[in-house]
């Protein structure tokens, strides 16, 4: 497994070359390993599509590069066999976004076909990022791939379901954004109010790295 130092006190490991089932399963296994058996001195880890960042407390691990080969070997060895299967979480969506027609036109589809295709796939949460709880969902049907907007919107509402290039995702908080908005979900996938209390991550973030997602079509005004 390749690794590289990333500034003081951190290492970046690359566990896959490209997106796909193998990368997803390996990422889940690594996250589970790091959560359940954290290496000594680790302060934080951040999993992404094909890489994972490990940060260390410099007072405990002054030179992480020295332990990198051992950590790499350990992460190399983990498999998803003993990791519980990724749960499938349902997200209700009203497909009435302002860019639905643009996505349809770009791909020579009807808007109905876009909804049908978008809700037919079970997606993988490869990583959370951009905003708190924003899921990067892989495995978007190639017939729906659509370039980001040339000029991003200054405000995208929380709950907007969108397509950005070859990914789909859900805006978790109101923020600027350049993805094509095709729908909206009433579900709060990130709840800042719950983040006030000493709540467990599960109740603050609806989705976690390693989950799977299915969009369920809801009619307007339903």
Partner 1 sequence: MDAKVFKVLSRGISASLQDRGRAGWRRFGVPVGGPMDDHAADWANRLLDNPPEAPVLELLLQGAKLAVLHDAWIAVTGADAQASVPTWRIVRTRAGDHVHFPREISGVWIYVAVEGGFAAQRFLGSASTCERGGLGRLLAPGDILWRTPEAAFRLVPTVASRSVAWSERRDYNAPPPFRVWPGPQWNSFSAHERESFFAHEWTVTSRSDRAGYRLTGIALKPQPAQIISEPVRVGSIQVPPGGQPIVIMRDGPTVGGYPKLGMVDPADLSWLAQCRPGTSVRFQLVNSS
**Position of tokens 């997803």?**
24
Near partner 1 by CB under 8 A: residue from 15, 24, 49, 95: 49
Tell me: does residue 196 bind partner 1 (CB under 8 A): yes
d(C-alpha 46, C-alpha 34), whole Å: 10
Q: How far apart are CA 111 and CA 105, in angstroms?
A: 8
Q: Which of 133, 137, 140, 154 is nearest to 103 (CA)?
A: 140
Q: Is 166 exposed, middle or buried (0-12, 13-18, 19+ CB in 10 A)?
A: middle
Q: Judged by CB under 8 A, which stretch of 51-59, 74-82, 84-92, 96-104 contacts partner 1?
A: 51-59
Give the nearer residue to partner 1 in terms of CB position, either 6 or 141.
6
Q: Which pairs count as long-range contacts for 194-201, CB under 8 Å and 24+ apart, including other chains? A: 195/132
Q: What's CA 200's distance to the chain center, in Å?
A: 19
Tokens 């859900």 found at: 170
Residue 47 makes contact with partner 1 by CB under 8 A: yes
- Least Å distance between CB 111 and partner 1? 28
Would you count residue 46 as binding partner 1 (CB under 8 A)?
yes
Count of Cβ atoms closer than 10 Å to residue 172 Cβ: 24
- Could you say whether residue 12 binds partner 1 (CB under 8 A)? yes
Q: Is 82:30 a contact under the CB 8 Å cutoff?
A: no
Smallest separation, CB 104 to partner 1 (Å)? 26
Nearer Cβ to partner 1 (106/188) = 188
**Residue 46 beta carbon to partner 1: minimum distance, rounded to whole angstroms:** 4
Q: Which is nearer to partner 1, 100 or 158 (CB)?
A: 158
Binders of partner 1 among residues 129 to 158 (CB under 8 A) are 129-134, 136, 158
The helix/strand/coil state of 120 is coil
3-state secondary structure of 33: helix
Nearer residue to partner 1 within complex by CB, 55 or 99: 55
Under the criterion CB under 8 A, does residue 8 sit at the interface with partner 1?
yes
Residues 160-189 that bind partner 1 (CB under 8 A): 172-175
Contacts to partner 1 by CB under 8 A: 4-8, 10, 12, 18-19, 31, 43-53, 55, 127-134, 136, 158, 172-175, 190, 192, 195-196, 201, 204-205, 208-209
């Amino acid at each position: 497994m390749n690794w590289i130092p990333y500034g003081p006190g951190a290492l970046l490991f690359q566990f896959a070359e490209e997106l796909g089932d193998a990368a997803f399963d390996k990422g889940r296994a690594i996250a589970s390993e790091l959560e359940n058996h954290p290496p000594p001195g680790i302060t934080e880890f951040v999993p992404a599509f094909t890489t994972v960042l490990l940060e260390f407390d410099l007072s405990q691990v002054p030179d992480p590069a020295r332990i990198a080969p051992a950590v790499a070997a350990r992460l190399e060895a983990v498999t998803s066999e003993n990791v519980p299967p990724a749960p499938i979480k349902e997200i209700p969506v009203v497909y009435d976004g302002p860019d639905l027609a643009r996505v349809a036109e770009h791909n020579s589809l009807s808007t109905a076909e876009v909804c049908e295709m978008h809700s037919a796939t079970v997606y993988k949460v490869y990583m959370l990022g951009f905003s708190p709880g924003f899921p990067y969902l892989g495995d978007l049907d190639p017939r729906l791939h659509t370039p980001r907007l040339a000029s991003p919107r200054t405000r995208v509402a929380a709950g907007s379901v969108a397509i950005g290039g070859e990914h789909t995702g859900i805006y978790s908080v109101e923020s600027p954004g350049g993805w094509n908005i095709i729908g909206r979900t009433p579900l709060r996938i990130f709840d800042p109010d719950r983040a006030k209390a000493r709540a467990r991550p599960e109740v603050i973030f609806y989705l976690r790295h390693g989950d799977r997602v299915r969009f369920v079509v809801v009619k307007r005004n339903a």
